[in-house]
Chains A and B, each alone.
Chain A
């Protein structure tokens, strides 16, 4: 019962994001896409509100956090003043391909659910730090400095971006208790949210048929990788949701402009405050989108502010907290930024390939890549997912080059998860139309 109330508390996420997504300019999205986009924006705003309250030494409370987040969502509407109303594509009866794609996505979500309930997909990081921090922070009604400073708790990674532990703490405060099974079930729940929303977001980019097929491919890919790489309850699935929706938004022909850029920017902020690798993803995707756009320098500067401003503000609040409490000053755990071991490069790449090949027999990475190759020459917009994939892969290899010792074990348990956005990006690139 407590598990149900913990999960039910997540309804606050779309509720606090809805003042923004209720704006008429977002009418272009079908109902379920709008609900999930509200939830994703709501997660970013709830986490930001909790970080702000911690920064100003105010105790967390469910009503206070939800109200502050909803006020922020309403305030963001000001940036959309004058934006015209839009409407979703004409509803049409799904054809056979769409129905089959929908059924495959449902099966993938059910598989993720059964694997999680069966104890076959849970991440140890849930117990080691995501859940442990959330539980402690909920009890302390804030970010517990004493707990994080305990030398025996060094493995809690106090500098890790705060979104997942904040949102889990929020649900814990609302439910009255942290529920481990419920936290693990955020994997199939978030996957279901992606399955429900992505076809509607991609509908602006491609046909209803192709949108459904691409969504099914992405959902099945993430179900396969997520179950086999044990991501249930950690920050990976929320990260995939934010990244996939943000990139799908950027690929739409109507992406350029206030509403599209602002929403993608909020989702990038969610990604960057969910996991460290969300930041290079956001920066690369936003930079590529801006590079491909025509327009005046002033217009591009405005778009850059919308795309990356929320990430800058969210991370500034988090680092202000870390610096002011002398808790952390950087993403510092793996040594100095340029202190790398290039002689490890061959071994690192070989280990990455090995660990990816061992996850779903490598098919979860290979099939989307084959879809991309089979789709032929893509339009210019495909440079956004493909360039982002290259930047993310480069960042991850660069990160793995930091340890002085053999990073094989680290790569073995992390690479299948952190490289999972790549097949998603291949599938999105395959959905990009050819240039006229």
Chain B
């Protein structure tokens, strides 16, 4: 009886409402859903940013806490590239730390003015080749 109730509770947690549609990311319905757009964008960015390139991930509008998480995602989801942090432990880092980044991934609306040449955009954000 108890096992059945717990199995039912586990079933209740399944995101049935999305039906058979594939989620955009592994985090769409998890407690970390807030960072799901960054996961989806960086997964897409992995196809457009070449191996060996340096990259920084920013939030739009800028947010030191989110950008710390995004940097961690970039380290994992952009293997073979050099992910430079723009923030650590909720504090923005000096621009000097990431000024040499060749690519910029922006999670959120397109920044203005344009920070370089737009490579592509998705509903979650945009990927740029920076003008340095």
Contacts and interface: CB of A to CB of B under 8 A. Distances in A.
Interface of A: 101, 104-105, 107-108, 111-112, 114-115, 118-122, 124, 126-128, 131-132, 135-136, 139, 152-153, 155, 178, 180-181, 184, 213, 216-217, 219-221, 223-224, 227-228, 230, 232-233, 360-361, 363-364, 367-368, 370-371, 413
B65 to A, nearest CB: 12
B10 A152 contact: no
B76 A132 contact: yes
Contact of A127 (B10, B15, B18, B77): B77
Interface string B1-35: 01111110111011100100001111111111001
B7 A119 contact: no
Q: Would you call the interface of chain A mostly helix, strand, loop, or mixed?
A: helix
Interface residues of B, number: 37
B9 A104 contact: no
Interface of B: 2-7, 9-11, 13-15, 18, 23-32, 35-36, 39, 71-73, 75-77, 79-80, 84-85, 88
Contact of B4 (A104, A126, A232, A360): A104
Contact of A118 (B7, B9, B29, B75): B29
Contacts of A223: 6-7, 10
B29 A119 contact: yes
Contact of B39 (A127, A220, A370): A127
B23 A367 contact: no
A368 B10 contact: no
Given A104-B3, A127-B73, A364-B6, A119 B11 contact: no
B64 to A, nearest CB: 14
A362 B88 CA distance: 35
Nearest to A112: B10
B79 A119 contact: no
A132 B75 contact: yes
Which 9 pairs between the two chains have the least Cβ-Cβ distance? Answer: A119-B23, A111-B10, A120-B29, A119-B28, A220-B6, A367-B2, A132-B76, A223-B10, A122-B26
A233 B2 CA distance: 27
A127 B76 CA distance: 6
26 contacts: A105-B3, A108-B7, A111-B13, A118-B14, A118-B15, A118-B23, A118-B29, A119-B23, A120-B29, A126-B26, A127-B72, A131-B76, A132-B75, A135-B76, A152-B75, A152-B88, A155-B72, A180-B77, A219-B3, A220-B4, A224-B13, A227-B10, A227-B13, A228-B9, A368-B2, A370-B2
Contact of B10 (A108, A118, A233): A108
Contacts of A120: 13-15, 28-30
B3 A128 contact: no
Contacts of B23: 118-119
